[in-house]
């Protein structure tokens, strides 16, 4: 659910950028995008948001990413899952978590004062 919300928020923020950057109506903006006349693609926009605090502030969008610790990943998977492997080495547990597709990254997105977290 949060991944869908995350995508919708990014789409909305980019749409706002896209429309305002050229100060034209949405239909004109769409036509201009089709011919490549808009400054940044959505991917470039998101990259710029992550890198440039001033740009991020201008569009009221903040994206923070961080790696999850092994302990956080174990908490996500659940203590009972480890069972007999509870005392195994960190490398072995990490491999188990990786094989079970337990997220390794937390993305925090704040847009217009609302924050959501997404695990990847």
pLDDT in tens, 46-83: 988 998 898 899 889 999 999 999 999 988 888 777 77
Over the range 53-84, which residues count as b (16 or more CB within 10 Å of their CB) and which as e? Answer: eeebeebebebeeeebeeebbbeebeeeeeee
Edge-first strand order for the sheet with 105-111 is: 61-67, 105-111, 114-119
Structural domains in the chain (count): 1
Tens-place pLDDT, residues 85-95? 777 888 988 99
Chain Cα centroid distance, residue 25: 28
Distance (Å) of CA 30 to CA 25, 55, 109: 9, 22, 26
Q: Could you tell me if residue 78 is inside a domain?
A: no
Q: Could you tell me if residue 93 is inside a domain?
A: no
What pLDDT shows up at residue 28? 62
What pLDDT shows up at residue 30? 66
In sequence order, which residues have a C-beta less than 8 Å from that of residue 21 and are 6 or more positions away? 38, 39, 40
Q: Could you tell me if residue 53 is inside a domain?
A: yes
Q: Could you tell me if residue 75 is inside a domain?
A: no
């Amino acid at each position: 659910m949060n991944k869908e919300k995350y995508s919708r928020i990014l789409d909305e923020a980019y749409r706002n950028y896209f429309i305002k950057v050229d100060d034209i109506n949405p239909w004109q903006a769409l036509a201009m995008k089709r011919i490549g006349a808009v400054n940044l693609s959505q991917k470039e926009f998101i990259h710029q948001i992550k890198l440039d605090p001033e740009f991020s502030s201008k569009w009221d969008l903040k994206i923070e990413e961080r790696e999850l610790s092994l302990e956080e990943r174990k908490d996500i998977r659940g203590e009972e899952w480890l069972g007999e492997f509870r005392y195994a080495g960190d490398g072995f547990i990490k491999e188990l978590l990786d094989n079970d597709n337990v997220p390794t990254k937390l993305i925090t997105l704040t847009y217009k004062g609302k924050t959501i977290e997404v695990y990847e």
